Amino acid sequence: MYFIFFEILKKNFYKIFTFSNSAVKFKKIEYYIRKVDIVIIYTMHKLLSFESLKKIFESGKIIYLRPLDMEFASGGCHVNLINDDENECKKFTNGCNKCPQLNKFNFFNLTKKIFYKKKTLIEKYKPRVFVENTYSQKIYNKSNIFINHKVDRIFLGTNLNRQKTFKKDYARKLLNFKKEEKIMLFGTYNLDAKHKGGNLLPLILNNLSKIIKTQTKNDNKNIRLITFGKKRSFNVETKKIKWTHLGLINSDKKLNLLYRSADVLLSPATFCNGPHIVSEAIANNLPVVAFDVGIAQDNIVNKKNGYLVARYDVKLFAESIYKVLFYKKNIDIDKINKNIKKIFNSNYEAEKIIKFSKIDIKRFKNENKNILR
């Protein structure tokens, strides 16, 4: 009951932790778990309580963890960004003792308790863990929960329905975008999410405006930022750059058209394990400018299919955007993306997991052959 008490007391507490208040109760999925050989768990946040997770492990099935954030590596947080400060919390490396996000509500030290509950489950049941990229793999390897546990890397595949080859002029015509504009694209589910970097966009765009102003030969004011996602308090104001917000995109085709219509994708994420939009942009041969975190480390080859920028260097980020918009011929997109798209393909992802599953099912049957008889 004190979990609910905390959620009432602390505003937005539910965004950091989920304590038993889950959308999916174990009874609703128990039938399906009994029928399958392998259970793949992507997340707990707002879906599974810890008790449900424990019951899944106790079911005797082969368990795979496929984390899309750092929740399984920590005492509860999904992003190790401390409140509104741009500081990285590293308590997940040794036990999440006295979580800084809970501050004065730490007298139960819930994060430490949850951390060691997870550690106990991992050490007892030894599930396979498939993280989505190198950035995530480093996080999980640092976590004390997985200190003696192998963490494999299988890249998260892209949606094939979002990477059809539309010509830019055709895509812009359908979306009612002007042919002559230079279009920058930025999107995420929640544009206010601090770890996605939307709060840095105004600074980046102001720097970009200054660069355009000083480059008299290329003083092109016909630049537009297109954003999509939940807007809330997110706002961009700049004199030189136009801005259009599209809201949430629920159509694969429309998202595909956005990638094909744009000139560059902006990914100012600072602590994100993805964002997956970067992989989808690469799949559509759209150049990406991103801070050197998350999935960008694996699928952006600097100065070839985009630019990797040191985290928080908004000036260099703006300079990189300018280079893409006005000197894109220097970026050899098709050649460099050919191999990248192979390993970020959903079929490739499935093949890798199936390969592991065949090994595990065979081993499981051998270990339990007396019971099966």
Task: Tell me how far apart the alpha carbons of residues 278 and 297 are, in angstroms, rounded to a whole number.
Answer: 10
pLDDT at res. 267: 97
**Quick one: 110 and 139 in the same domain?**
yes
Q: Is 175 helix (H, G, I), strand (E, B) or coil?
A: helix
Q: Are residues 106 and 183 in the same domain?
A: no
User: Are both 312 and 368 inside the same structural domain?
Assistant: no
- In terms of domains, do 73 and 208 share one? no
**pLDDT given at position 1:** 44
| Model confidence pLDDT, tens digit, residues 293-347 | 999 999 999 988 999 999 999 999 999 999 999 876 555 677 788 888 888 989 9
Read off the pLDDT of each residue in 275-286 and give the average, rounded to a whole number: 93
**pLDDT for the residue numbered 329:** 59
Residue 4 burial (CB < 10 Å; 0-12/13-18/19+)? Answer: exposed
Q: What is the mean pLDDT of the chain?
A: 86
Q: 171 and 317: one domain?
A: yes
Task: Indicate which CATH number applies to the domain containing 179.
Answer: 3.40.50.2000
Q: Are 192 and 200 within 8 A, CB to CB?
A: no
Residues 148 and 167 in one domain: no
pLDDT tops 90 at residue 252: yes
How far is residue 90 CA from its own chain's centroid? 19
Count: domains in the chain: 2
Asked if pLDDT for residue 15 goes beyond 60, the answer is: no
Question: Domain check: are 316 and 299 in the same one?
Answer: yes
Q: Which residue has the higher pLDDT, 11 or 126?
A: 126
> Do 176 and 125 share a domain, yes or no?
no
From 85-89, 93-97, 298-302, 357-361, the region with the lowest mean pLDDT: 85-89
Q: Are residues 123 and 175 in the same domain?
A: no
Measured between alpha carbons, how far is 166 from 200 in angstroms, rounded to an integer? 31
Provide the 10 A C-beta neighbour count for residue 217. Answer: 6
Shared domain for 143 and 211, answered yes or no, is no
* Domain of residue 114, residue span: 2-157+347-372
